Amino acid sequence: MSRSKITWLVVGLLVLAVALVACQPQTVEVEVTRVITETEEVEVPVEVEVPVEVTRVVTETVTETVTEEVMVEEAPLGSEERPIKVLFVPSVDADVIISGGDLMAEELEKATGYKYEVSVPSSYAATIEAMCASPEDTIGFIPALGYVLANERCGVQVGLAAERFGWPVYWAQIVVRDDSGIETLEDLEGKTWAAPSVTSTSGFLVPSAMLSGAGIETGEIVETGGHTAAMLAVAQGDVDFATGFFSPPLLPNFERNWNPDTDDPEIWREAGVSPERTEAGRVFVGGDPADGGYRVLDSRAAAMETYPGILEETRILQISDEIPNDTLSYGADFPLALAQDISTAVATYAASDECNEPPEGTVTFCSDAFYNWTGAAQVLDSAFDPTRFMIEALGMTEEDVLGE
């Protein structure tokens, strides 16, 4: 085939290809503007709640409640909120102690400015327990034995010792009914015994030493709870003998003191008249000593209110050796400055007319029916060594004495 024919053949094929392409459907992008009527269904965007897992960083403010221990300052000792505790052993009637103790507390408050709270524990042992349990705010009017035991147990310290009409000591007495037929200590063998308490110095321990030294074994021992009650027990015939404290009588015109070496404990019987008790609780024989009479001061005097004939129907069989007087003692941690102020005030009150010459019918700390303090003096711990020796001599432990 010639070259020109080939050329025309190619051109023909190209024309044919173009024509075929022109006859095929084609897609053309055009902008169309449409008017949509209300009746036309058109797909429009709709808000749909779709669960989506979202990770958030949250910052929280936490309010934390913290409990702090706050130290509350304790009220000062001697204030209305924290009064000084004043303990009296129940050696006489508790009602008498409370009324007389409250009078004393009023006087001490005037003198010192401190507040006081008076109480009477149920026993000598309970008094010691209370002082040991509350050593920083407690004071106690306790006998020699009570002081020795409290000192050994928990460091209780002595402040004052009582004086009774100038005597810094007292004695124990053994009392029987006048019609008992008992004349000597040996006659007490197997006899029933009324004692204020087995922890009482003059009411039990000292008489125990006396009887033990004489080789005497008694019968039943009845604890009466107080010296007055013990004296009433023997007067009423409930027991064969009783023991309690002895303070010497005051002699006519105060011309001299009773002498334990030469005078009978009941020297007042020489007056030959019956004892009489005044409204103030004093017991005179033949009138006031200032008027030539005697004043009886032993533990039967207080019992006359209940049993007027007790001094005539009973007698003292024997008295003991001297015993240190009762004490005003302080808890081991009681503030020293306060203790000194209180000791001064107590000594002043015990020697005052308010205490020793109260109105008729008023019983005070100085009254025969109470503790019969007429003064007070400073005393050292060494003064109670004889009491310690007595306890050792009897072979008694604290547990024996306190019944624990």
244-263: pLDDT as tens digits? 999 999 999 999 999 999 99
Residue 49 in any domain: the answer is: no
Which of 271, 294, 321 is the endpoint of a domain? 321
Q: Which helix (H) or strand (E) element contains residue 392?
A: helix 385-393
pLDDT tens-digit readout, 134-150? 999 999 999 888 899 99
pLDDT tier, 240 (very low <50, low <70, confident <90, very high otherwise): very high
Quick one: 308 and 338 in the same domain? Answer: no
Last residue of a domain, one of 288, 321, 354: 321
- The verdict on 193 and 241 lying in the same domain is yes
Q: Is residue 40 part of a domain?
A: no
Is the Cα dihedral 14, 16, 20, 23 positive or negative? positive
Instruction: Say yes or no: 285 and 353 in one domain.
Output: no
pLDDT, tens only, 340-367: 999 999 999 999 999 998 988 889 999 8
Q: Provide the number of structural domains found in the chain.
A: 2
Residues 222 and 305 in one domain: yes
Quickly state the pLDDT bin for 26 (edges 50, 70, 90).
Answer: very low
Q: Is residue 201 part of a domain?
A: yes
Residues 303 and 337 in one domain: no
- In this structure, the answer to whether residues 249 and 122 fall within a common structural domain is no
Burial class (CB in 10 A: 0-12, 13-18, 19+), 155: middle
- Can you give the CATH number for the domain in which 131 is found? 3.40.190.10
Query: 3-state class of 170 per DSSP?
Result: strand
Pairwise pLDDT comparison (180 vs 48), residue with the higher score? 180
- The tokens 């024309």 sit on which residue? 15
> Is residue 96 in a domain?
yes
Same domain, 343 and 310: no
Question: Is pLDDT larger for residue 255 or for residue 8?
Answer: 255
398, part of any domain:
yes
Helix (H) or strand (E) holding 138: strand 138-142
What pLDDT is recorded for position 19?
42
Span 169-205, pLDDT tens digits = 899 999 999 999 999 999 999 999 999 988 788 999 8
The domain boundary residue, chosen from 286, 306, 321: 321
The number of helix segments (H) and strand segments (E) in the chain equals: 11, 15
Residue 227: what pLDDT?
A: 94
- Residue 171's contacts (CB-CB under 8 Å, 6 or more residues apart) are 202, 245, 246, 247, 248, 260, 319, 320, 321, 322, 323
Together in a domain, 298 and 315: yes
* pTM greater than the 0.85 cutoff: no
SS3 199: coil
- Are 161 and 195 members of one domain? no
pLDDT mean across residues, the chain: 84
The percentage of the chain sitting over the pLDDT mark of 90, rounded to a whole number, equals 63
- Domain check: are 128 and 240 in the same one? no
Nearest Cα residue to 240 out of 198, 281, 328, 179? 179
- What pLDDT is recorded for position 180? 97
Kindly tell me if the per-residue pLDDT of 285 is higher than 90. yes
- What does the pLDDT average to over 31-51? 45
* Domain limits for position 112: 84-166+325-402
285 plus 218 within the same structural domain: yes
| pLDDT of 164 strictly over 80 | yes
Count, residues in the chain: 404
